[in-house]
Amino acid sequence: MSLLQEAQDMEQEIIGWRRYFHENPELGLELPKTAAKVQEELKKMGVRFRPCGQSGVLGYIGKEGGKSILLRGDMDALPLTEDTGLPYASQCPGKMHACGHDTHAAMLLGAAKLLKAHEEELQGLVILMFQPGEETLSGARSMIEDGCLENPKPDHAVAIHIAGEPYQTGQVKLSRGTIAASSDNYRIILHGKGGHGASPQNSINPIFAAAKIVEAFTDIGRYEVDPQQPTVVNTCSIHAGTTYNIIPNDCEIRGTVRTFNEEVRANLLSRIQETVEKICSLYRCTFEFYNDFSTPSNYSEETFSDELYAMLKRDLEGVEVLPLDSSRMMGSEDFAYVSQKISSCSLSLGASNPDIPHFPAHHPKVQFDEKAFAYGAATYAQAALSYLK
């Protein structure tokens, strides 16, 4: 029997786990119910595990001492209210699994059960990484700080993200190269001196400094970066003042920097800080600068991606493995923290079919085809089985 058939035999169980996670979405690094459910199911399967970081769980199947591979599934939801009308819709207004991380957690549990049944065949160790806080770009970091990539250090890591159109149920696509941008999200608070709008000579208006900063950031993104390096420097929020004739004390600017090259990234971050310092000094303001959350670029290492592609093409019966894809997106994915340390590959799992209305991820009406979950569990498990042959 193929691994896919084995996964399809336990499909109802995977769907059940997924519906539980879907009805009980939790945010960021605070996933007490989700982590407890994962631990409870691993315990039932007889899989050894330990809590890791805040709300993370690490499972271990196979034997230590040889090769090892890490399988990562994230499990956090988003702060929005669900509008699908599904019978298993979120029971928590203001929270929804709109990025499909509930399906990742359920599919990784499915893979755990498959791999436990094949444990004797594993010539090495599978590390299951159930991760919180992807949407806040904090979960992978918190698990790495708590040693998820040490003792033992995995040779390779694999992440799956569920995907809607154009990818159909039954298809899986491996990426190759740098595929998701780095993301740095800055917040700058400018401090001036408030006063009467009719008496500029007695005040320092931080809005004028903010205007120059926004303009300078745009120029840096446009004129200081190699045009061959896709880059975004974008101001997305600016707040100051209350009415017509009061000069405010403060002005807050928020925005994001995206690129694929770590050298370009370091240079941009240092240039935007320098710009704030110089403009503030010229316009007599003081400032606070925060990079509130960030992630490096996500990298599917070429040699491993080629190797995994060949293995899945050969071994993953019943699943359509699409050609390797080197296209990039300006969005970010915090599996990047793993991929910068361990040779990794990111996969997209098709989960659309013509009967399901199409909405993009992060939309309150987004839905994923439940038939796709067996394919996802089989793909996770086959990656480990084939690598640890």
d(CA 286, CA 301): 43
- β-strand pairing of 171-175 with 320-325: parallel
Which region among 44-52, 96-104, 205-213, 381-389 touches Zn ion (by CB under 5 A)? 96-104
Least distance from Zn ion to the Cβ atom of residue 286, Å: 36
Write the DSSP symbol of residue 192.
-
- Indicate the residue among 78 and 127 with the shorter CB distance to Zn ion: 78
Instruction: Kindly report the number of other CB atoms within 10 A of residue 157's CB atom.
Output: 25
- Indicate the residue among 129 and 385 with the shorter CB distance to Zn ion: 129
Check residue 336 for interaction with Zn ion (CB under 5 A).
no
Residue 85 falls in which region: left (phi positive, over 0), alpha (psi -120 to 50) or beta = left
Least distance from Zn ion to the Cβ atom of residue 335, Å: 10
Which residues on neighbouring strands pair with residue 255, listed in sequence order?
Answer: 186, 235
- Indicate the residue among 183 and 386 with the shorter CB distance to Zn ion: 183
Check residue 162 for interaction with Zn ion (CB under 5 A).
no
Is the omega angle on the peptide bond into residue 354 within 30 degrees of 0, that is, cis?
no
Which region among 94-102, 122-130, 247-255, 363-371 touches Zn ion (by CB under 5 A)? 94-102
Candidates 388, 378, 350, 386; CA nearest to 108 is 378
Size of the site for Zn ion (CB under 5 A): 1
Check residue 137 for interaction with Zn ion (CB under 5 A).
no
| Chosen residue from 99, 213, 251, 264 binding Zn ion by CB under 5 A | 99
Check residue 160 for interaction with Zn ion (CB under 5 A).
no
Least distance from Zn ion to the Cβ atom of residue 134, Å: 6
Tell me phi and psi for residue 91, to 5 degrees.
-95, 5
Check residue 107 for interaction with Zn ion (CB under 5 A).
no
Per DSSP, the three-state class of 102 is helix
Tokens 């991606």 sit on residue:
305
Least distance from Zn ion to the Cβ atom of residue 59, Å: 21
Which positions touch Zn ion (CB under 5 A)?
A: 99
